[in-house]
Structures are given as C-alpha cells and as structure tokens.
Amino acid sequence: MEQIDALIERHMAFIVRTVSGCTGRYVSVEHDDSFSIALIAFAEAVRRYDPQRGNFLAYAGLVIKSRLRTFLEQENRRAGEASLEELQESGREFAAEPADESSLREEIAAYQEELSLFGLTMETLADQAPRHRDTRDRAVDVARRSSEEPRVVEHTYRKRKLPVREVSRVCGVTEKIVKDSKVFILGTMLVFVKKFPGLLSWIRGARCNHDR
C-alpha cells in the first residue's frame, strides 16, 4: 500500500488529467466522486499490471476510463430520472410514456451527453425553465424554428453556444427574449435537432395540454 500511495503521489497530475478528460470538467481532488473512482482504478491497475501489457500509464489510463464510464453512466441514469421529475414540477408533463422504458433511459442518457457538449445538465434546464406558460411555449417555438435553420445549428455546435442575434433574426423576436431564455432554448433545440422521440412527444404533449 505504501508503494501504491507513492505511485499515486508521483502520478497525481496524470490521474487528474485523465479524470478531467473523461468528465470534461474541472476536478476537485478533495470533493469529487469521479476522482475517488479514479484513485481506486489506479490502485487496481497497479495490482493487475503485467509488463507484457506495455506502458504502465497507458494501461492505467484505460482502467481509469473504463471505471469512470461505468460510474458516470450510473450517475447519468439516476440524475436523468430525478431531473425529469424536476422538469415536470416546473410545469411540463409527458403526454404519454414510451412503451419501452429502457429506450427512454437510453434516450435521456444520450440527451445528457449532448447537453454536456455545451456545459449543461438537465438540472440546469430545470432551474432555467421559464416559469410562465406563455414564455415557455414561446421559447419552445423559438427552439423548434432554430433547429430548422442549418446555419444556426452549425454555429451552435461549432461555437458551443446559442447565436442569440441570429436566432432573434430567424425567429422574428427580440434579442432580449432570446437572452432571457437562451439556456432553455438551447437545451430544447437540441431535442429537435437530434429528434429524440420520447422527449419530442413530451414537449409536444405538454404544449397540447397547456392549450386545453
């Protein structure tokens, strides 16, 4: 164990860099579950390493990434289920649940990966969702129309942010309207762009329910 501790200390920068690369965010050494998983994986790699496997750090990196992927997938599933409840509490409801619950979980996981490209989470969307029905419906309409404009979509993915001025021009609304709901518009636009069937049903069903 003393040797493992010494190796961890010597390769701390490598471990942090690997975790950061896998999670796409800053890593807190003291308060980050992902970092704890990486330390356990690194110790596992030390114990299981065979020189015939090649470079040790390359092998350790593979073990860390494998364990982190498993951990993050489990966390995403739990967060997705909780976040759906938060979004429903903010005023949105599913018109109908998809027949296959496992496909919905996979869809949510894929959506969360898409959101992560822009530094967003479903929790963020729940917090940023407009509270007033009219504002929310207008934001959804802006998101849908923006998703149909290739230039807007290309710019969004290339710059990793919503082009407020372009969206304003395309949708015929003021820049202030777009800015006030830009996080929610971006998150909803990704649903339309990727055509997630369950989430699209949710969005469309919620609007129909509001119109009744």
**pLDDT score of 212:** 38
Tokens of 62: 């593979």
**pLDDT score of 203:** 72
**pLDDT score of 145:** 94
Residues of the chain with pLDDT under 50: 91-99, 205-212
User: What does pTM read for this prediction?
Assistant: 0.53
**pLDDT score of 101:** 58
